Amino acid sequence: PFLRELEQHVFGVGVLKAAVKNTSVKLLDAFVDSAFQFVDYPLDPSQVRFGKPLKNISNTNVFEHSGKLYSIAENNLPQEIDILTLEALGDWDVNGAWNRSFTAHPKRVPGTGELVTMGIAATKPFVEVGVISGISSQTGS
């Protein structure tokens, strides 16, 4: 009944079927392009569209490790903070052992003081877990 009704309109059934098929192909192409386009980019998909995130924004969490205070956001390294002035003293890259984003909610191992963190990236390795010694000069991953 629906097709007969459509046949009465200006568009013929053949034209309508071709239009639906063409639209379906375009929709599928757009979906595939959007789903897989980030594979060719060395940056995160959000960075391709909006640029790299600002480095010094660390407004998600504050944590203490080995007697030092750090502020952190999910997109970068922690910032060491001066406890008296609350000034950022610079990135904490775990003595050069960590070069990716740092979770804003690291977990402390009870009894050992070790700090467990993770970082993600759009390129391999996609996820990395790190265990940082409770003594500030030692690191492990």
Name the residue range of residue 26's domain: 2-40
* 120 and 89 housed in the same domain: yes
Per-residue pLDDT averaged across 11-29, rounded?
63
Say what the pLDDT of residue 62 is: 94
Q: Please, which contacts does 134-137 make with residues 24 or more away whose CB atoms are closer than 8 Å?
A: 134/65, 134/66, 135/66, 136/65, 136/66, 136/67, 136/68, 137/95
Residue 47 lies in a domain: no
pTM of the full structure = 0.56
* 74 and 7 housed in the same domain: no
Q: What percent of the chain shows pLDDT beyond 70?
A: 57
Residue 126 lies in a domain: yes
Q: Could you read off the pLDDT of 87-100 as tens digits, one per residue?
A: 989 999 998 898 88
* 9 labeled part of a ligand binding site: no
Say what the pLDDT of residue 58 is: 81
Say what the pLDDT of residue 36 is: 56
49 pLDDT band (50/70/90 cuts)?
A: low
* 93 and 134 housed in the same domain: yes
Say what the pLDDT of residue 137 is: 43
125 pLDDT band (50/70/90 cuts)?
A: confident
Residue 48 lies in a domain: no
